[in-house]
């Protein structure tokens, strides 16, 4: 059986550094790359919203979704 985990996809309405979509392992990691101004809110707001697969953050500058990531279990 595989390992299931979640990632966060940030989809900007306007490209930043030539791209519109970025993938992160946590909400905090988003702010290692982008400023609250670029995202449109602070990380505390995202934590308070409790982003889930069914409940994305939709802001003026970007959309942040939580997506299921399927990984294969490593063999020995």
pLDDT in tens, 37-62: 999 999 999 999 999 989 999 999 99
**Residue 1: is its pLDDT beyond 70?**
no
Q: Token pair for residue 7?
A: 């990632």
**Which residues neighbour 53 within 8 Å (Cβ) at sequence distance 6 or greater?**
6, 65, 66, 67, 68
0.75 exceeded by pTM: yes
pLDDT at 53: 86
- Max distance between CA atoms of the chain, in angstroms, equals 47
């Amino acid at each position: 059986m595989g390992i299931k985990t979640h990632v966060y996809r940030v989809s900007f309405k306007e490209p930043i550094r030539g791209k519109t979509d970025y993938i992160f392992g946590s909400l905090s990691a988003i702010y290692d790359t982008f400023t609250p101004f670029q995202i449109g809110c602070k990380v505390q707001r995202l934590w308070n919203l409790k982003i889930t697969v069914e409940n994305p953050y939709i802001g003026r500058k970007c959309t942040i979704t939580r997506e299921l990531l399927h990984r294969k279990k490593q063999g020995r």
